[in-house]
Amino acid sequence: MGKVMFYHLTRNPLEVTAHMLLDRAYQTGWRVTVRGRDPDILARLDDTLWLGNKASFLPHGLAGGAHDADQPILLTNDHDCPNAPACLMVIDMADMAPTDADALERIWVLFDGNDAAALAHARGQWKAVTAAGVLAEYWSEDSGRWQMKAQSGK
């Protein structure tokens, strides 16, 4: 069983933190599914990953292509994970169930700390995960660097 790590974004935009975590996963050899709700946000993340620094390029694709199963990083608004990921990144208040951690190494929940709805949604996810006894960590960048502020679960 994996752990769920909540990232409270207050300084850097989604794309910066997502790239950092996706790069770590890729370097570890983990496949990742990025689950969002809004196709425009997924497209923006896709553009950022394609157009970023060549030295930090991460191979990835938007779901719906012929090679979804081959993608090391797959961006989708669906619950299916055809790329057999070790990690799930949840953005844009997308759904995630505590049982998702059963088959994964990590789940990252990235949420905008300046958006009251996103904050409330993440709190609900935290409560569900911790009530299910799944190991969870809460990370904040308020100090200017990422720090774990809370931990719960097994």
Domains of the chain: 12-144+146-150 (3.40.50.10110)
Predicted structure pTM score? 0.94
Does the CA dihedral 124-128-130-131 come out positive or negative? positive
| Residues 25-66: tens digit of each pLDDT | 999 999 999 999 999 999 999 998 887 666 678 999 999 989
The series of mean pLDDT values per 10 residues for the chain, 154 residues long, is: 94 93 95 97 91 77 93 95 96 96 96 96 97 96 92 80
Give me the phi and psi of 33, to 5 degrees please.
-105, 130
Give the pLDDT of residue 57: 82
Query: How far is Cα of residue 44 from the mean position of the Cα atoms in its chain?
Result: 15
CA distance 82 to 68: 6
